[in-house]
Amino acid sequence: MKRKITLLGGGSWGTALSKLLSENGHEVTVWLRDEEQCRTLSTERVNKKYLPKVQIPENIVFTSNIDEAVKNAEILLIVTPTQMIRSILKQISEEYKRDKIIINASKGIEIGTMCLVSDIVNEETRNCSFAVLSGPSHAEEVGLSLPTAITVACDDKDVAEKIQDAFMSTYFRVYTNEDVIGAEIGGALKNIIALGAGISDGVGYGDNAKAALMNRGIVEIARLGIAMGADIHTFYGLSGIGDLIVTCTSKHSRNWNAGYLIGQGMSKNEAISKIGMVVEGIPTTYAAYELSKKLKVEMPIVTAMYDILENNSDVKETVNKLMLRDKKEEKL
């Protein structure tokens, strides 16, 4: 079924998903706050900054008028950095942010409030169905129509299946899941572990160290998720281990790249500037650290990452502290 879908945001992920949805026959609009960028994308049909190898279909509409973009949309797809989502939703007129299906394709936790995106959407919209699109999915590969599998998590099975139908294609496979919290936590916190993986590689540690980091990282992610009401099985799936693997091992990953630069001696701000895009793992580290304290969940890797980012702790000394913690059994 053809649907009217508006994407809030037009970075790499927004560009790739708008192309996919357009190819699937939907009426696609992309909202961008920058008028000049809208004009450029409308005429040149290529996102030179983020996905220069991807041709944007002619029938995708770009606009900088947010009310115009969303007023007739059945589905709103959020593809902006997490820390911007609340302010963007506040810009939409009340009459246009009701009774929609809202899908979040960003991955993070709001600093200060420690809200998940589902919480933000619940607070800022009315009578909307919420879903999470998460899993191992680099925009660079989706934009080139390379095989990808992801999860859509929604507590309403009928809505989840509508979204599944909208996104499924010959190269984009979609599974459904009812565990919204688990999908959100898995997608957000894997970026912290990916930062750590990049730091490990940047310092010069080997595969053993990265494998241990990833394995114990998913344990910490699941531990926090369970404390927030998630299903442990979600962390075995695409939005858990799947997303963690791709983000920790691929040079497409901006979080891995930022971590690598930090491991090579750059400050976090220098690394962010060098990457030139939002590195979600950095603000998420701060939010997850506060959440772990609030919920009294033991998260030594997250704490170590917080110390490196906030206190400029020496990486090798921090690793030594992790390695020399009290002996324990391997368990969740």
Positions marked active-site:
190
Q: Measuring CA to CA, which residue among 149, 285, 151, 153 is closest to residue 229?
A: 153
The full length of the chain comes to: 332
Strand partners of residue 6: 29, 76
Cβ neighbour number for residue 87 with a 10 Å cutoff = 10
Place of tokens 């009340």: 94
CA distance 23 to 169: 9
CA distance 238 to 151: 6
Strand partners of residue 104: 78, 132
Most distant CA atoms of the chain, gap in Å: 61
On whether the CB atoms of residues 291 and 305 are closer than 8 A, the answer is no
